[in-house]
Chains A and B, each alone.
Chain A
Amino acid sequence: MSEHSARIERFWRDNQLFSALVELTYRCNLDCFFCYNDVGLAGTPLAFERYGELLEEMARLGVLHLTLSGGEPLAHPDFFRIGARARELGYVVRVKSNGHALRGALARRLRDEVDPYLIEVSLHGAVAATHDRQTRVPGSFERLLANLEGLRELGLRFQINSTLTAWNEAEFEGMYAIADRFAVRLQIDPEVTPRDDGSREPLSIAASREGLRRLFEFEAERSRTYAASQGGGAAREPAIVRQGDSIAPPSPRANGSGKFCGAGSSNVCIDPYGNVYPCVQWRRPVGNLHESTLAEIWATSRGLADVRELERQIARRLAGEESSLLGFCPGQAEIVTGDAAAIYPAAVVRRELLREVNRESAKRALLPVIRG
């Protein structure tokens, strides 16, 4: 285990806050069909002064990794003031953006005033018809590609995120080709999640089993190609230049912290109205920043104590379950089944498919590799 992984394990065990994802606003300049945001959520938005206090408090508590998300974080009127303050306070800032506004003067301001470690942009297909079908904004695909070119010219590091859906499952090779063209990492999430208000409407475009299998096979093949190009071995790196995830907190599933993941132990998520959650995916409110400081919530929240206990139970329960294949997420389990520890159907499908793909890969690994 690397020194950094051992450190992260200790953070999980000791409830040492280290990463925060802050959803600045649910406003957005796109209108994705599957967007999980609960745009009907009521509450008083956190004012700029409160963000300032929060950033100072989180720095004191030890948070190093700060992800600004949303909605579209750039649509928040104080985005640059918040981002600049985060930079001053020494955060490693990631910005999750749809990329639509990321061009020209705004992109330069992002570089010069916020200096993010990484921008994560979302791509929904390999062609305009598919991407724009999701975003429901004609021209958004072409504009995104042009903006990515601009980010590259400005020297801003970015990666591309995507979610496999029924609409784009025949296009992931094309999405990888786009990422390869920019020599950036592409991360495809195989699962569409329900909306944060519980609605399952987004699941109507979940990828098919066959689509998932093809994605897993394709990614396994890329890993093999990469491993061979690196002189063999069992590397899991895709055949692309990886820029940027090497310092992401690792998410080892079998770990010595006694917990399943870092949700509510070293990670926290804050929505635009000050609600605090263990993780962006686990929408169980454990406090509100209009009523308490984050330090108070972290130390005394009954809800967080429950989450941490659940994390220990899940770690025990999944110990023998090939849990890395399940891609299990307690937040997802809770929203789908009502029980954060229940293995939900999408996880079972994923494990079945990955087992099959791994078996195939193991067979093929026996074939000799000819190197030029």
Chain B
Amino acid sequence: MTTSERYRRASDVRYRILDGEAVVVRQRAAEVLGLDAAGSRILDLLDGERPLANVAATLAEEYEGDRETIAREVEAFVAELAAAGVVEPVEEGE
């Protein structure tokens, strides 16, 4: 995973952010997931347009902590979301 990579929410994902927490439904798997406030913010930012570096920078502005640590945590979290089928990488040129 590199910081220039872009991710988008999978087409079967539906979600709402309520009280800072995301309720995420994966329609195909008929599965509900919950994300905490930081996770919800990241999911919301993964629109297929912003590179990961940009997502991490936004989080770093909104949360306290060292920028590099936040960037690493964002990457790790996005990898988790991708493994769970919630987001997918956008190919170059898409």
Interface contact B34-A3, CB-CB below 8 Å: yes
Given A16-B18, A62-B16, A63-B16, residue A4 in contact with residue B32 (CB < 8 A): yes
Name the CB-closest residue of B to A117.
B27
Interface of B is mostly: strand
CA separation between A10 and B20, bound complex, in Å? 14
Interface contact B31-A90, CB-CB below 8 Å: no
| A145 → chain B closest CB, angstroms | 24
* Binary CB contact string for chain A from 178 to 219 against chain B (1 if under 8 A, 0 otherwise): 000000000000000000000000000000000000000000
CA separation between A44 and B34, bound complex, in Å? 40
Interface contact B25-A16, CB-CB below 8 Å: no
| B47 → chain A closest CB, angstroms | 12
Chain A residue numbers with a CB within 8 Å of B34 are 3-4, 7
CA separation between A246 and B32, bound complex, in Å? 8
Interface positions of B from 13 to 48, Cβ below 8 Å from A: 14-16, 18-19, 21, 23, 25, 27, 30-32, 34
Chain A residue numbers with a CB within 8 Å of B18 are 11, 16, 18, 62
CA separation between A7 and B22, bound complex, in Å? 11
Name the CB-closest residue of A to B17.
A62
Q: Which among A10, A157, A247 is the interface contact of B32 at CB below 8 angstroms? A: A247
| A371 → chain B closest CB, angstroms | 28
Given A7-B23, A16-B19, A117-B25, residue A90 in contact with residue B14 (CB < 8 A): yes
Q: How large is the interface on B (under 10, 10 to 19, 20 to 34, 35 or more residues)?
A: 10 to 19
Q: Which among B16, B19, B30 is the interface contact of A247 at CB below 8 angstroms? A: B30
| A35 → chain B closest CB, angstroms | 30
CA separation between A3 and B15, bound complex, in Å? 16
Chain B residue numbers with a CB within 8 Å of A59 are 16
Is A277 interfacial (CB-CB < 8 Å)?
Answer: no
* Binary CB contact string for chain A from 54 to 78 against chain B (1 if under 8 A, 0 otherwise): 0000010011100000000000000
CA separation between A92 and B16, bound complex, in Å? 10
Most A CB within 10 A of own CB, among B16, B21, B31: B16
Given A92-B25, A117-B25, residue A64 in contact with residue B14 (CB < 8 A): yes
Q: How large is the interface on A (under 10, 10 to 19, 20 to 34, 35 or more residues)?
A: 20 to 34
Name the CB-closest residue of A to B34.
A3
CA separation between A247 and B14, bound complex, in Å? 12
Interface contact B15-A64, CB-CB below 8 Å: yes
Is A244 interfacial (CB-CB < 8 Å)?
Answer: yes
Most A CB within 10 A of own CB, among B12, B18, B19, B31: B18
| B46 → chain A closest CB, angstroms | 14
Q: Which among A4, A10, A90, A115 is the interface contact of B16 at CB below 8 angstroms? A: A90
CA separation between A11 and B21, bound complex, in Å? 12
Chain B residue numbers with a CB within 8 Å of A247 are 25, 30-32
Chain A residue numbers with a CB within 8 Å of B16 are 18, 59, 62-64, 90
CA separation between A11 and B25, bound complex, in Å? 17
CA separation between A244 and B32, bound complex, in Å? 11
Given A16-B19, A92-B25, residue A246 in contact with residue B30 (CB < 8 A): yes
Is A293 interfacial (CB-CB < 8 Å)?
Answer: no
Chain B residue numbers with a CB within 8 Å of A10 are 19
Name the CB-closest residue of A to B18.
A62
| B55 → chain A closest CB, angstroms | 19
Is A91 interfacial (CB-CB < 8 Å)?
Answer: yes
| B43 → chain A closest CB, angstroms | 12
A contacts, CB < 8 Å to B: 3-4, 7, 10-11, 16, 18, 59, 62-64, 90-92, 115, 117, 157, 243-244, 246-247
Query: Which 9 residue pairs spanning A and B have beta carbons closest together?
Result: A64-B16, A92-B14, A247-B32, A62-B18, A117-B27, A246-B30, A90-B14, A92-B25, A4-B32
